[in-house]
Amino acid sequence: MEHELVIGLAGLACLIILIALRIPIAFGMIMVGGIGVTALNGPAIFLSQLKDLTYIQFSIYDLSVIPMFVLMGNLASRAGLSQELFRAANAWLGWARGGVAMSAIVACAGFGAVCGSSLATASTMGKVALPELEKYKYQPSLATGTLAAGGVLGILIPPSVVLVIYAILVEANIVTMFMAAFVPGIIAVILFLITIMIYVRVFPNSGPARDRIGRDQFWQATFGVLPVLLIFGCVIGGIFFGVFNPTPAAAVGVFLVGGYAFIRGRMSMLDLKFAGLDTAKTTGMIFLILLGAEMLKIFMARGGVPQALAEILGGSGLEPMMIMIFLLLGLIVLGCLMDSLSMILLAIPFFWPVIIDLDFGMNTEDLKIWFGILALIVVELGLITPPVGMNVFVISAMAKNVPMATIFKGVTPFFASEIVRVILILMFPGLVLWLPSLLGG
């Protein structure tokens, strides 16, 4: 084995140890990357790079959409959009058996359309939908499982921060990625709804229908949600049809959500301050970890670790599809241990060189999109699986009388439906590639 590769692998081992020791992942990446490059090429190159590496990283234009999306999500969480969404969904679907849970799923998807964070989606929708589900005596495992699972819908429904990061990592077009994510997002909603239908059929008393509502109430709820749909239409429609780039689109979104909250009198100065500070925390965290990932990438590329991995797996004689499944399983396992953002930043620089060498009968651009969507779905599964299912923790903190094990049990059918979705997309890449080719992304 070459000398560089040994240093690269040793660096990787150090990083894993640092992460296990609870050192912030960004710091670990920066340290290992910095020391590694110094070990390979001497300090001069690294020190000279550091002069403007941070500024160059922070001022990548594609990244500027991230603080916008984060701010939009934080404003939306505090503006009470979730109430309108849930009320409307409940008016449309609540009459069915299990309908209140289905409404929660649809509302989660709707909220995911203005907020890119799974956790925020779970916690915001949880606050609104959990009391309703309890009121109708939904089985606790179904009620909590639905809400924890509903949160993961956020990742594939634009605006999604992790999607942007993936696109930057593999140099894919962000707009194309957004388009590609749309159909899989809809599929997830449909599969979740089917899951609930099956659940209430197997356990007949687990999810009763809600009380009947009057016609005026129905229309009131329907009209109430129109502004939210309008905001989503402006932002996503504008991006899809090429009216504007993601960053201005997100800026318009921030403007509209903020304006809506202000008109409805739902936003106090204190709310605004905390929405700003939350944005500061998330943005700073994301940008620093991106800097770390860049430094690590420089080091790993010089050490030749990704290429070595690609050679080993490529020369293993395994079918490309087997390697793909193997990597996705790896992501599921790692996703159980780490948050999805760090996971994508750590794993994709290693996995992508492996994938790009394999023949799936499609060109590189399509492969980027297809693999990206699959990877994003599976890393997000870590949010609803033990040991650190963050979405489950969030819902558990709200539903104090429901044991954690019950929530994990309630999530299981949704986890199964996610696996179905992954298999569907593996078998039919067209599900992902259809919309981008239609809209000419």
Partner 1 sequence: MTQSLSLNRGLIELPIRFIEWWALGGCCVLAVVVVMATISSVTGFLFATPFPGDFELTQMLVAVAAFMFLPYCQLTFAHVSADIFTSKASDNVVRLLSRAGSLLAISFSLLLVSRTYAGLLDYQIYLETTTILQIPIWYAFVPAIFSLALWTVAAVITLIFPEKTVNSPIHEALGEHD
Footprint of partner 1 on this chain (CB under 8 A)?
19-27, 30-31, 34, 47, 50-52, 54-55, 58-61, 63-64, 67-68, 71, 243-244, 247-249, 251-252, 254-255, 273-274, 276-277, 279-285, 287-289, 337-339, 341-342, 387-388
Identity of the residue, 33 or 349, whose beta carbon is nearer to partner 1 in the bound complex:
33
Give residue 9's identity as a one-letter amino acid code: L
What is the C-alpha to C-alpha distance for residues 279 and 70, in angstroms, rounded to an integer? 6
From the CB of 275, what's the least distance to partner 1, in Å? 9
Q: Are 422 and 374 in contact (CB under 8 A)?
A: yes
Identity of the residue, 221 or 394, whose beta carbon is nearer to partner 1 in the bound complex:
394
Give start and end residues of each alpha helix (H) in 21-98: 25-41, 43-58, 65-79, 81-93
Q: Are 15 and 296 in contact (CB under 8 A)?
A: yes
From the CB of 317, what's the least distance to partner 1, in Å? 34
The helix (run of H) or strand (run of E) holding residue 274 is: helix 269-303
Identity of the residue, 206 or 279, whose beta carbon is nearer to partner 1 in the bound complex:
279
What is the C-alpha to C-alpha distance for residues 432 and 410, in angstroms, rounded to an integer? 28
Assigned token pair, 183: 């159909």
Identity of the residue, 59 or 222, whose beta carbon is nearer to partner 1 in the bound complex:
59
Q: Are 167 and 174 in contact (CB under 8 A)?
A: yes
Assigned token pair, 11: 């660096």
From the CB of 47, what's the least distance to partner 1, in Å? 6
Helix axes 215-232, 246-263, angle to 10 degrees: 140
Cα(first)–Cα(last) distance of the chain, in Å? 43
Assigned token pair, 294: 């860049």
From the CB of 117, what's the least distance to partner 1, in Å? 13
Q: Tokens 């940008």 sit at which residue?
A: 287
From the CB of 10, what's the least distance to partner 1, in Å? 19
Identity of the residue, 50 or 362, whose beta carbon is nearer to partner 1 in the bound complex:
50
Could you tell me which of 126, 341, 139, 107 has the C-alpha nearest to residue 232?
107
Q: Which residues of 26-60 are buried (b: 16+ CB within 10 A; e: fewer)?
A: bebbbbbbbbbbebbeeeeebeebeeeeeeebeee
Identity of the residue, 5 or 390, whose beta carbon is nearer to partner 1 in the bound complex:
390
Identity of the residue, 257 or 433, whose beta carbon is nearer to partner 1 in the bound complex:
257
Could you tell me which of 288, 382, 296, 307 has the C-alpha nearest to residue 352?
307
Identity of the residue, 7 or 251, whose beta carbon is nearer to partner 1 in the bound complex:
251
From the CB of 191, what's the least distance to partner 1, in Å? 29
Identity of the residue, 185 or 246, whose beta carbon is nearer to partner 1 in the bound complex:
246
Q: Are 38 and 46 in contact (CB under 8 A)?
A: yes
Q: Tokens 């809400």 sit at which residue?
A: 147
Identity of the residue, 215 or 241, whose beta carbon is nearer to partner 1 in the bound complex:
241
What is the C-alpha to C-alpha distance for residues 161 and 152, in angstroms, rounded to an integer? 13
From the CB of 256, what's the least distance to partner 1, in Å? 9
Burial of 219 (0-12, 13-18, 19+ CB in 10 A): exposed
Identity of the residue, 288 or 378, whose beta carbon is nearer to partner 1 in the bound complex:
288
